[in-house]
Structure 1
Amino acid sequence: MRIQFDRQLMGLDDQSMKRLEGLGDIRTHPMVRGLILPALCSWQEPDLGRDLPRLQPVFRSMMTALIGSLLEAPAEDSDMKPARIAAVKKFIRMNYRNPALDVDEVVAYSFLSRRALYYLFEDEALSVNKYIRTLRTVEALELFAEPGSWRRSLGNIAEASGFANLQAMRRALKETGLTLSELQDNPELARITSFGLRRVIGL
């Protein structure tokens, strides 16, 4: 693996560059293994070029965080924010089907306080709670839209979507303006609503 730093873009002076060049292999660094490599692997898609404008600031913030860690100099919070949001959202997307996933679990994963986590999401379209709930709602809608969904019980759909119980799924679906009976009777409504929510959360 080879990582190249744009010293002008990252604001690195000669001394900082010499320190970085002397570090050698950084593949075992926790930030490289836990944040940067997983992100790079997830971005290897045929249509990656389309997403570059969105991904560039995220990658720049990851590089800023890495450099700050390697040089033992704290990065500015504003530089870290895109990378932190990307990492937190990826964690939520990987785990939302688990009913145990809640804000406390995200706090434990991110090493942020609850207040800092809420602050991280303050400029996002959805709060962290709403982001988790919306992913579960999309999952439920897509299960309702599947052929033969009538064979599944409502409790089974709720469980498969990550909701703690049927009542939690009912409340979440009610926010879309649809009732369970409408979704059971008209799978196309579920498909259309799911598509709209996917755009909101960037899926």
Structure 2
Amino acid sequence: MIDDLEFNGEELTRAERFDAWMDMARASIMPAKLTSDAPLDCDSLFDGAMLGPVMLLSASAPPLKAVRTPRLITADDPEMYELAMPYQGQGILEQAGRTAVYGPGSLMVASTSLPFESHGRLVDGRLAFTKFYLPRKMVPIPPDKVERLLATPLSTSEGMGALFAKILRNMVTDAASLGDSDRARLGTVVTDMFTAFVAHHLEEDSKLPPESQSRTLFLRVKDFIRHNLHDPELSADTVAAAHHISSRYLYRLFQENGLTVRSWIRTQRLEECARALGDPVQLATPINELALRWGFSHPAAFSRAFREAYGVSPRDYRMRQVARAVA
């Protein structure tokens, strides 16, 4: 396992890049036979971090062919699930008697405990991806059931898949700036979402542990709220109804996380308004119109709430932000 790693092929000579990239890949991923047809002068960027027990790897690199044999599994098996999310290019995975081609807009699950062969494919000369490695023991779904989804492209275009992909992308961006405790928390989020995502595809959502269901539901609720901030009628009742739960349960869900539904909705709306007020492109848009766009239907109430949160009126805040932008 790794703590943090970083590799930038631009810092090396052409003759050094390929060997350095291969050494990095071998050192950071489970044992596999690695080969590549990439040119020696290929550009490579490689980052990794530990999110508690979850490993995060992100790379823009030449395509590798990885073969994991029964012998290599016997020699060293970390007993993990690999979750791959490509941004550019394609991946090809052969495992559990299936072969799948996947690209942007999908996730792929593999297991380190079963033989596999995988390789990347350049599209428009690029291959970029993120992979997460989760300990199998942290996923409360029997391995034989998870294996039904191996080498099967899972869509991230809508619903839970879209939310999961969004969370994963944010983690790639945020991980480097976080401390150990926050990274460990993100590892729990990845594990919960992976578990819920797999259970959803297996149609076994109701069999998940209550704490995992609760944490996943909280993420889904917050995402729903963010996507509906523009609606003046957004409230605890409408949020609860959209998720087929009682308002009382929704209140408890937020209380368990040290929040209230009403204040969290208001905070999210105010943050969006503040971003809009500080955007030079929206300088000509009336303040009341911006407020209405984010769910504040009463100008006076918006002005009071904004001043309470930011210490100045929306107009003064906008003037200060614009002054900073042109300074």
Relative to the length of structure 1, the TM-score reads 0.69
Bigger strand share: 2
Match of 2:188 among 41, 57, 66: 57
Residue pair 1:173, 1:179 contacting (<8 A) in 2 also: yes
1:21 and 2:150 matched: no
Shift of 1:190: 6.8
| Structure 1 stretch displaced more, 154-163 or 35-44 | 35-44
Determine helix, strand or coil for the equivalent of 1:3: strand
Q: Which residue of 2 aligns with 1:9?
A: 138
Determine helix, strand or coil for the equivalent of 2:108: coil
Match of 1:142 among 270, 275, 286: 275
Residue pair 1:32, 1:66 contacting (<8 A) in 2 also: no
Counterpart residue identity of residue 318, structure 2: P
Counterpart residue identity of residue 7, structure 1: R
Residue pair 1:64, 1:80 contacting (<8 A) in 2 also: no
Q: Which residue of 1 aligns with 2:159?
A: 34
Q: Which residue of 2 aligns with 1:173?
A: 306
Shift of 1:179: 5.3
Runs of 5+ unmatched residues, structure 2: 1-106, 112-134, 323-327
Distance 2:284 2:158 in 1: 43
Determine helix, strand or coil for the equivalent of 1:141: helix
Distance 1:137 1:148 in 2: 18
Residue deviations 1:6-25, cap 9 Å, x none? 4322255xxx3334434675
Counterpart residue identity of residue 309, structure 2: T
Higher relative contact order (CA 8 A, sep 6+): 1
Shift of 1:133: 0.6
Distance 1:86 1:121 in 2: 11
Determine helix, strand or coil for the equivalent of 2:191: helix
Distance 1:44 1:150, change over 3 A: closer
Match of 1:129 among 262, 271, 275: 262
Determine helix, strand or coil for the equivalent of 1:163: coil
What is the number of equivalent residue pairs in this alignment?
184
Distance 1:105 1:26 in 2: 33
Q: Which residue of 1 aligns with 2:297?
A: 164
Counterpart residue identity of residue 76, structure 1: P
Q: Which residue of 2 aligns with 1:111?
A: 244
Distance 1:17 1:102, change over 3 A: same
Distance 1:32 1:85, change over 3 A: farther
Residue pair 2:226, 2:268 contacting (<8 A) in 1 also: yes
Distance 1:26 1:107, change over 3 A: farther
| Structure 1 stretch displaced more, 51-60 or 79-88 | 51-60
Distance 1:43 1:114 in 2: 29
Any residues of structure 2 matched to 1:33-112 within 5 Å, and which? 34-44=159-169, 47=173, 49-50=175-176, 52-66=183-197, 70=202, 72=204, 74-112=207-245
| Structure 1 stretch displaced more, 80-89 or 152-161 | 152-161
Relative to the length of structure 2, the TM-score reads 0.46
Counterpart residue identity of residue 164, structure 2: A
Runs of 5+ unmatched residues, structure 1: 192-203
Please give the root-mean-square deviation of Cα atoms over the aligned residues, in Å: 3.6
Work out the percentage of aligned pairs sharing the same amino acid.
24
Distance 2:317 2:162 in 1: 42
